[in-house]
A = this chain, B = another copy of it.
Amino acid sequence: MKFNRLSTFTASIAMLLAASVTAVASDPLASWNDNAAKQSVVAFVERVTDEGSPDFVPVEERIATFDNDGTLWSEQPYYFQLAFALDRVKAMAPDHPEWKTKQPFKGVLEGDLKAVMAGGKKSLIEIVAATHAGMTADEFEQIVTDWISTAKHPKTGRLYKEMIYQPMLELLTYLRANGFKTFIVSGGGIEFMRPWTEATYGIPPEQVVGSSIKSRYEVRDGKPVIVRLPEIDFVDDKEGKPVGIHSHIGRRPILAAGNSDGDWQMLQYTTIDHSPSFGLIVHHTDGEREWAYGRESHIGQLDKALDDAKQKGWTVVDMKQDWKTIYPGE
């Protein structure tokens, strides 16, 4: 090889290398394997953002809604908000000596979750009322902030707020970079999420929709406060999700992501008789790196929505196959 040719060859290699580096660095979905799931969401975003495409969607209508538990962060062995509530019962116990002999609190304090669950929904509501109501909104925000900054998951040893899915963080960022407004639409408590969703997901409080208890405005000692009342206001789950979206957002999303039958109606509402649109289901298939569950699970059951996915054209993400990493920094 003559010098000129060698030089050209070297230059070409260098350019190729540079191009690859750029491609890797600029892949907005770097934690996704290059499978059908990734390809389909990228193709959708390209279609709706291309002004020349018949499927172009104006920026103001690019609404994307994400379930939280099991879709943006883990939810096993039980919803992290329940872990919060149980921790609160323990923290509050010194002021409630009667809890030592009174279910469901007795069960919580003795670590006997079976006794707690034996009381069913009524027990859970009692725990929520005791731990989530009675204080002002500012006080509750502080309680949640303290807990989320320190509480760790017993199995992974990670902070709960670090058990978020890196590929979904990338998807949120990618959508926002393409003019989407990203919302959380979760069965979880709206005020349990708002204190940390902005720092964690880049989703501000006004873009969080969730279940809520009632509240009341008061002026206490000359200061305005919102008081949290022990009464359910709205359950943002199943058929509640389209209602929550309608109430908070006021227009149908063009993209919705969930992981359980609790998201089934949100996926319908987003995609049926509404084109272009995109439905995404995170399927928990990775028992090694996360948890594997679905059709039979008590938490995050995925059955009807999975049956419906093929017919409705929803994209099912196989966590094990489609995600290179699960949690950030792995």
Q: Chain A interface (Cβ within 8 Å of chain B)? A: 60, 63, 137, 181, 190-191, 194, 198, 204-208, 212, 215-217, 219, 222-224, 226, 239-243, 246-251, 265, 268-269, 272-273
Cα–Cα, bound, A243→B204 (Å): 18
Q: Are A272 and B239 in contact (CB under 8 A)?
A: no
A-B contact pairs, 22 of them (CB 8 A): A191-B250, A194-B250, A205-B249, A205-B250, A206-B206, A206-B207, A206-B249, A206-B250, A206-B251, A208-B250, A212-B247, A215-B246, A217-B240, A219-B268, A219-B272, A223-B272, A223-B273, A224-B269, A224-B272, A224-B273, A226-B243, A248-B248
Q: What residue of chain B has the Cβ atom nearest to residue A238's Cβ?
A: B217
Q: Are A243 and B272 in contact (CB under 8 A)?
A: no
Q: Are A226 and B246 in contact (CB under 8 A)?
A: yes
Cα–Cα, bound, A226→B249 (Å): 13
Task: Given A60-B198, A272-B224, decide whether A246 and B206 contact each other with a Cβ distance below 8 A.
Answer: no
Q: Are B216 and A248 in contact (CB under 8 A)?
A: no
Q: What residue of chain B has the Cβ atom nearest to residue A63's Cβ?
A: B206
Most buried by B among A194, A250, A269, A273: A250
Chain B residues with CB under 8 Å of A250's CB are 190-191, 194, 205-206, 208
Q: Are A239 and B223 in contact (CB under 8 A)?
A: no
Q: Which 8 A-B pairs have the closest CB atoms?
A: A205-B250, A217-B242, A217-B239, A224-B269, A223-B273, A206-B249, A194-B250, A226-B246
> A184 to nearest B CB, angstroms?
11
Cα–Cα, bound, A190→B246 (Å): 10
Cα–Cα, bound, A239→B219 (Å): 10
Q: What residue of chain B has the Cβ atom nearest to residue A270's Cβ?
A: B224
Cα–Cα, bound, A190→B272 (Å): 25
Chain B residues with CB under 8 Å of A216's CB are 239, 243
Q: Out of B60, B204, B219, B272, which one reaches A60, CB within 8 Å?
A: B204
Chain B residues with CB under 8 Å of A251's CB are 205-206
Q: Out of B219, B243, B273, which one reaches A217, CB within 8 Å?
A: B243
Q: What residue of chain B has the Cβ atom nearest to residue A252's Cβ?
A: B224
> A148 to nearest B CB, angstroms?
16
Task: Given A60-B198, A216-B239, A224-B242, decide whether A206 and B248 contact each other with a Cβ distance below 8 A.
Answer: yes
Most buried by B among A222, A241, A243, A269: A243
Cα–Cα, bound, A63→B207 (Å): 13
Q: What residue of chain B has the Cβ atom nearest to residue A183's Cβ?
A: B206
Q: Are B60 and A224 in contact (CB under 8 A)?
A: no
**Given A215-B243, A224-B269: 8 more A-B contacts, CB < 8 Å:** A63-B206, A206-B249, A212-B247, A217-B241, A217-B242, A219-B268, A219-B272, A224-B242
Cα–Cα, bound, A240→B206 (Å): 17
Q: Are A217 and B249 in contact (CB under 8 A)?
A: no
